Chains A and B, each alone.
Chain A
Amino acid sequence: MSAHTSPAFGSPAALAWRALRQDRLAVCGLAFLALLTIIALLGAACTNFVPAFDPTTVRLTDKLLPPFAYASDLVASDDLPALGQYFLGTDELGRDVFSRMLQGAVVSLSIGFVAVGISMIVGIFFGAVAGYFGELSWLGLSLDTVLMRFTDAMLCFPTFFLILTVVALLPASIYNIMIVIGLTSWMGTARFVRAEVLSLKDRDFVIAAHATGLSSWRIVTAHLLPNAMAPVLVSATVGVASAILTESALSFLGFGVQPPDATWGNILADGKTFIFDAPWLFFVPGVAILLVVLAFNLVGEGLREALDPRRAER
């Protein structure tokens, strides 16, 4: 118990933000992701409306050009890339890799966020119900047992193969992929939330909420979940990275988003045939994926430190 420093002001969220800002690596990651989001949004506008950034323009005369190569004179003026230069080279159909990467950015990021969003909603729901209402039982089996064994079963499933199967059976759209990834990655979140809720249930302020006659819904949403979110947020940041990787793997295998839509995964897939002739087709999306995953992981680590309850001053 210390009165060493003055009491920190602000809401716990504000305090956590201040603590996060101290972690240089996390701030770098956050800055990178912010920049990437801006580029992706701008890129979406550019690729749809600005002809110079059209990712579908095929220029058979300019196949497999290296990065920073200039467009040849044979290219029609409508089909010229921005500033007449291919910043990241061209692929085997003469399409501007830079434009394709821009299009893929939006797709990859949105798959990541939506998938994680779905998994968080499902996971929080299962975890909160199992943690708070777990003692309710029918026929000798408690709700907690039922939900958790189901979670365990899902964990044992080789989810990647489940995704492949579903994707093979359903039409391969971006939405299906998002939903499938989301519905197969909620288990970790459910466990975290359940563990937090179980330990929070016995805290005095939760008993006080019960004593003042608040409804179960209110107790769970206003008292339990806000205090249980720390591990969820951390696993969410890492989850986005993991979703992006899964999507890339799917596309690499040919099961993901179909051409001509570009995602970083399928640019990578196309590039594998030309790895010796045009290595940039492989490395550019690969490095991009690497940087994004790294950035998310750094932010996740930083969040974990910032939200660590031991940091909180009594």
Chain B
Amino acid sequence: MNATDSGFDLAGLCVDVAPQRPRGATSVNIIDKVSLRPVRSRTTAIVGESGCGKSLMALALMGLVDAPLQVRSGTLRVGDRTFALSDKDAVRPLRGDQLAMVFQEPMSALNPVFTIGEQIVEAIVTHAEVGAAAARVDAVGWLKRVGLPDPQRAFDKFPHELSGGMKQRAMIAMALAPKPDVLIADEPTTALDVTVQGQVLRLLGSLQAEIGLTVLLITHDLALVARHAQHVAIMYAGRIVETASVRQLFANPQHPYTRALLKCMPARARRGEPLATISGAVPNPNGFVAGCRFAPRCEFVTEACATVPPASQVEDEHLVYCWNVGL
């Protein structure tokens, strides 16, 4: 990935939690120097379990981080402009305009008292100087593009009249109508049935090709990543531990955490044999150790792991943050 390919460029994101009580308590780091360079018009997946900070990272990108959480540092380059993420006001104009977000629960992200058509029109009108009639035509066009049957009628439907999958498509329409460059999808299909999940993700894939959309897919499900993403970054305890193309990751996982995650999936296990597990549990930010944060649970831990491992390049596009690369 070179600089011209990136949809955007995130560098050095650090997010802390600064507890207000007890007074004078030191802030605890959660996300530590996360950098990301998603490839334009491709889907990059951020994979991690709960507590790894992936949703928090998305919020930081959108400038939606509130006290007691605090963005300590981090720059975001979009096109040729650079923004400091610690300044929420700096990022605000990007929100919805170049950076859009789709959430996990379509039910709570859509306003129940307005029709979905009205909500899409509102999204359009907020970010562009467009008249109401033109915005309506645009909105109906988007409803068609996301695959809602009978878009004219769907325009006048309320969220509760739609199924989960259709609500999610409506949310995607709302997010994409202002024509952003990047779409952050935070667990967009976790609340949906498996038959609908594939449809929604395939929709994102086709939009990617159609309009050159860069998608950042946040998920905990590696199987979805295998099918619907092209690049992947694995996150653990607020740090990125491995980045690669999807093919490389599944063929040649390097980081012990990635390997353990793949091994403990039931899809890869045989009946009758106990599933592989990762000893210990995801640590709480108060319990993050200095050095490699996975060290307390890693079977390959050595003395070197007391310091934070730098990136090692394994293959082209494949980076691992581990001292024990090659084992």
Known: A1-B50, A3-B285. 5 other contacts (CB 8 A): A3-B51, A4-B30, A4-B69, A5-B68, A22-B21
- Chain A, Cβ-Cβ closest to B15: A4
A11 at the interface (CB under 8 A from B): no
A7 at the interface (CB under 8 A from B): yes
Choice from A1, A4, A22 contacting B285 with Cβ under 8 Å? A4
B interface residues, tally (CB under 8 Å)? 13
Count of chain A to chain B residue pairs whose CB atoms are closer than 8 Å in the complex: 22
| CA gap between A7 and B51 in the complex, in Å | 13
B residues at A contact (CB < 8 Å): 17, 19, 21, 30, 50-51, 56, 68-69, 282, 284-286
- Nearest 10 A/B pairs, CB to CB: A3-B51, A4-B17, A6-B286, A3-B284, A6-B284, A1-B50, A3-B285, A5-B19, A5-B17, A4-B69
Nearest Cβ in chain A — how far from B166, in angstroms? 26
A225-275 contacts to B (CB < 8 Å): none
A1-21 contacts to B (CB < 8 Å): 1-7
| CA gap between A17 and B282 in the complex, in Å | 30
Nearest Cβ in chain B — how far from A306, in angstroms? 14
| Structural contact, B21 and A7, CB atoms closer than 8 A | no
A residues at B contact (CB < 8 Å): 1-7, 22
Nearest Cβ in chain B — how far from A111, in angstroms? 39
Choice from B19, B21, B68, B282 contacting A3 with Cβ under 8 Å? B282
| CA gap between A60 and B35 in the complex, in Å | 89
When distances are taken between beta carbons in the complex, the residues of chain B under 8 Å from A5 are: 17, 19, 68, 285-286
Nearest Cβ in chain A — how far from B235, in angstroms? 13
| CA gap between A6 and B286 in the complex, in Å | 7
Nearest Cβ in chain B — how far from A300, in angstroms? 23
- Chain A, Cβ-Cβ closest to B17: A4
| Structural contact, B68 and A4, CB atoms closer than 8 A | yes
Nearest Cβ in chain B — how far from A74, in angstroms? 60
Nearest Cβ in chain A — how far from B38, in angstroms? 24
- A sample of 21 inter-chain contacts (CB < 8 A) reads A1-B50, A1-B51, A2-B56, A3-B50, A3-B51, A3-B282, A3-B284, A3-B285, A4-B30, A4-B68, A4-B69, A4-B285, A5-B17, A5-B19, A5-B68, A5-B285, A5-B286, A6-B284, A6-B286, A7-B284, A22-B21
When distances are taken between beta carbons in the complex, the residues of chain B under 8 Å from A7 are: 284
When distances are taken between beta carbons in the complex, the residues of chain B under 8 Å from A1 are: 50-51
When distances are taken between beta carbons in the complex, the residues of chain A under 8 Å from B68 are: 4-5
Nearest Cβ in chain A — how far from B146, in angstroms? 28
| CA gap between A7 and B284 in the complex, in Å | 9
Nearest Cβ in chain B — how far from A95, in angstroms? 50
When distances are taken between beta carbons in the complex, the residues of chain A under 8 Å from B17 are: 4-5
| CA gap between A17 and B168 in the complex, in Å | 41
Nearest Cβ in chain B — how far from A86, in angstroms? 46
| CA gap between A6 and B287 in the complex, in Å | 9
| CA gap between A3 and B293 in the complex, in Å | 15
Nearest Cβ in chain A — how far from B285, in angstroms? 6
- Chain B, Cβ-Cβ closest to A3: B51
| CA gap between A257 and B255 in the complex, in Å | 80
| CA gap between A220 and B11 in the complex, in Å | 55
| CA gap between A3 and B54 in the complex, in Å | 12
When distances are taken between beta carbons in the complex, the residues of chain A under 8 Å from B19 are: 5
Best-surrounded residue of A4, A6, A7 (most CB of chain B within 10 A)? A4
When distances are taken between beta carbons in the complex, the residues of chain A under 8 Å from B50 are: 1, 3
When distances are taken between beta carbons in the complex, the residues of chain B under 8 Å from A6 are: 284, 286
